[in-house]
Structure 1
C-alpha cells in the first residue's frame, strides 16, 4: 500500500512527546503515529447510511428544495 499522510505544523512539544512515547513502546516515530491513528479510529463507530441520511435531512430541513423534475426541465430548456 503506497498511501502517504504528511502532518505539518505540529508543535515542537507535541513532536517531542510523540518521540518519547514511540521510544517507550519501542517503535519508530512513524509507527507510533500509525498506531495512535489506528487506535483512535478503531474506537469510532461508523454511522450507517440511514443515520447519515437523517443527519443530512436535518441539516437541509429549512432550505427551499427544488424538485428534480423542475431542474431537469430547466436543463433541457437551456439546450
Structure 2
C-alpha cells in the first residue's frame, strides 16, 4: 500500500474531518481514506455537452412536427406625438 501526506490543510477542514470521523467511529486517516474511496468510485463525467445529453434523452421518443402559423405583415407603428 502507498502512503500519502497532505500538507497545508485548513484548520477548519481538519476540524470537520475530525468531527466526521468521530461520528463514524473512525480515525481521521480512515475517514479520509473512505472519503477518497467514495469520491473516486463515482462514474466520471461523460464529457457530453448539455445539448448532446438532452438530444440523447429526447431522440428515442420520436419526432414531432409542429404546424407554424402563417406570418402576418407588421402593424404600423403607433404615433406617440399626438
| TM-score with structure 2 setting the length | 0.52
Residue in 2 that maps onto 1:36: 35
**Separation (CA, whole Å) in 1 of partners of 2:30 and 2:37:** 10
Deviation at 1:27, TM superposition (A): 0.3
Secondary structure of the corresponding residue to residue 13 of structure 1: helix
Which structure has more helix as a fraction of its residues? 1
Larger radius of gyration: 2
Residue in 2 that maps onto 1:14: 13
**Separation (CA, whole Å) in 1 of partners of 2:20 and 2:13:** 10
Q: Kindly tell me the number of residue pairs found equivalent between the two proteins.
A: 46
Deviation at 1:46, TM superposition (A): 8.6
Deviation at 1:44, TM superposition (A): 3.4
Instruction: Map Cα deviations across residues 5-32 of structure 1 (whole Å, 9 max, x no partner).
Output: 1110001000000000000000000000
Say if 1:6 and 1:46 are closer, same or farther in 2 by CA, change over 3 A.
farther
Q: Give the superposed CA RMSD.
A: 1.6
| TM-score with structure 1 setting the length | 0.54
**Structure 1 stretches of at least 4 aligned residues deviating more than 4 Å after TM superposition:** none
**Separation (CA, whole Å) in 1 of partners of 2:23 and 2:42:** 23
